[in-house]
Amino acid sequence: MTLKLPIYLDHHATTPLDPRVLEAMMPYLTTDFGNASSATHAYGWKAEAAVELARKQVAALIGSKDPKEVIWTSGTTESDNLALIGVARADTSKGHHIITCVTEHRSVLDTARYLEGHGGRVTYLSVDADGLVNPDDVRKAIAKDTILISIMAANNEIGVIQPIGEIGRIAKEAGILFHVDAAQACGKIPMDVEAMGIDLLAMSAHKVYGPKGAGALYVRERNPKVRLEPLFHGGGQERGLRPGTLAVPNIVGMGKAFEIAGGEMEDEAERLFKLRQRLHEGLMKALSGRGGVTPPLLNGHATKRLPGNLSLSFLGVRSDALIPQIRDVALSSGSACASLETAEPSYVIRALGGDSERALSSIRFGIGRFNTEEEIDFTIQKVAVAVQSLR
């Protein structure tokens, strides 16, 4: 069998649409085009019913008992903005302090910076050498004026999974709202807003084989009811928290993508984990032991990581030189958003400590639903040859 090139191993940046998702979306792109807010005819009713089914599907994946807690947005960037800015503006009587961490996605970090420029105060917790936040550090950072703790569930570069349940417990005990960026986690690892004490949870469809431009923010309704100031003002959709005509086809796609991910999560995690082990072991074997060559270094915790994530640093080889040598595999050094700007070493890998060489030589492998063993073996060979030639 011939491989379709380039092989896609950048599933943290985005994922292809699952054909089952496209099939679910098709009627709403064609015949069933109604506005979900049109209450006077069948076109509107049909669109509304589809949106409400999707809301149930998303709520089910994250353990929300009340689908009304799911607010549609355009994606995690918007959801993170709505969560942080919305909480900061909703109630200014308690204070302006937010606790987050240095390895968050830019959609949290840049929003936190924005709030700092508008009277907010932010504590950026560091991470340990494995990329993990210490829950005790969260506890110690809590002050009288703390209004929100924002920690991501799974990192988009190094895949590490933060102790969300523990941090949620700390937030609950202190009576502080807890926001989680779960763009990489939803559909990949179990997420449960009740068990984990989460008050706000941001998600995107396109990281889980759904369409781009569709996302949601979970907003807790009781124990406690989260008060949010909307960012947009308009037609009152989404209980006024996010007005604007709903993107019905995208929302239907997001619901279907989340339903599929929930149903297949266990099997898929096991399959992705095996492919990751194969890739990791294959690269270690191909690149170790020859004349004292340094084997690739693993970035992030060895086991507390997304099943499909492998982040390696090939010391002595810069990733911006390596990636162009491997044209047959679609790879990235780190976050797709960071690479828009500069060839700056990854702030996430720098946060793990160690030297900047490690950050400059990192490659992120993101294995996904449609990758095969054959593709992994091809990748091992291509990467090993390129690393050896550049060293």
Ligand X SMILES: *Cc1c(COP(=O)(O)O)cnc(C)c1O
Looking at 118-126, 203-211, 216-224, 318-326, which segment touches ligand X (CB under 6 A)?
Answer: 203-211
Residue 77 contacts ligand X per CB under 6 A:
yes
Per-residue tokens: 44: 């509107």
* Helices marked H in the chain: 19-29, 42-62, 76-90, 106-116, 135-141, 164-174, 248-287, 319-322, 347-350, 356-360, 373-390
Residue 162 contacts ligand X per CB under 6 A:
no
Looking at 22-30, 69-77, 169-177, 236-244, which segment touches ligand X (CB under 6 A)?
Answer: 69-77
φ and ψ of 236, to 5 deg: 85, 5
- Helix, strand or coil, per DSSP, at residue 190: coil
Out of 146, 150, 156, 162, name the contact with ligand X by CB under 6 A.
Answer: 156
Residue 146 contacts ligand X per CB under 6 A:
no
Name the residue among 73, 72, 67, 96 with its Cα closest to residue 84: 96
**How far apart are the C-alpha atoms of 218 and 241, rounded to whole Å?**
11
Residue 309 contacts ligand X per CB under 6 A:
no
Q: Contact at 8 Å (CB) between 370 and 3? A: no
Out of 15, 57, 64, 76, name the contact with ligand X by CB under 6 A.
Answer: 76
State the minimum distance, in angstroms, from the CB of residue 336 to ligand X.
Answer: 8
Give the HSE-up count for residue 284: Cα atoms under 13 Å, Cβ half-sphere. Answer: 10
Residue 204 contacts ligand X per CB under 6 A:
yes
Name residue 200's beta-bridge partners.
179, 219
Residue 186 contacts ligand X per CB under 6 A:
no
- Residues that bind ligand X (rule: CB under 6 A) add up to a total of 14
State the minimum distance, in angstroms, from the CB of residue 249 to ligand X.
Answer: 16
Residue 111 contacts ligand X per CB under 6 A:
no
- Catalytic residues, which ones? 337
In this structure, the chain runs to a length of 391
Residue 105 contacts ligand X per CB under 6 A:
yes
Name residue 146's beta-bridge partners.
97
State the minimum distance, in angstroms, from the CB of residue 109 to ligand X.
Answer: 10
Per-residue tokens: 115: 């709030």
Out of 168, 215, 262, 368, name the contact with ligand X by CB under 6 A.
Answer: 215
Q: Which is nearer to ligand X, 206 or 220 (CB)?
A: 206
Residue 75 contacts ligand X per CB under 6 A:
yes
Question: Can you give the binding site for ligand X, defined by CB under 6 A?
Answer: 75-77, 105, 107, 152, 156, 181, 183-184, 204, 206-207, 215
